[in-house]
């Protein structure tokens, strides 16, 4: 995450750094477990449908081969 965004306010009045903590912990746990994965930290945005929709296509491209 770019250091310039460390004080950006996110939803529920929490700083952005607090909101991405869960993503960082999941990323670390997957890495420690040796599970291949990709974590994309976007330079702006809130956790919500508007951000989700833009990430759906790349996520599906990664997941689809394991299902078919």
- Count structural domains, the chain: 1
Give the pLDDT score at 3: 40
pTM of structure: 0.55
Q: How would DSSP label each residue in 29-46?
A: HHHHTT--------SS--
| Structure tokens belonging to residue 27 | 């990323």
Provide the domain limits for residue 7: 3-67
For the chain, residues with pLDDT lower than 70 are 1-19, 45-47
């Amino acid at each position: 995450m770019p250091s310039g965004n460390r004080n950006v306010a996110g939803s529920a009045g929490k700083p952005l750094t607090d909101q991405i903590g869960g993503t960082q912990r999941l990323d670390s746990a997957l890495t420690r477990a040796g599970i291949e994965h990709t974590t994309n930290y976007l330079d702006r945005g809130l956790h919500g449908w508007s951000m989700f929709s833009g990430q759906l296509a790349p996520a599906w491209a990664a997941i689809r081969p394991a299902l078919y």
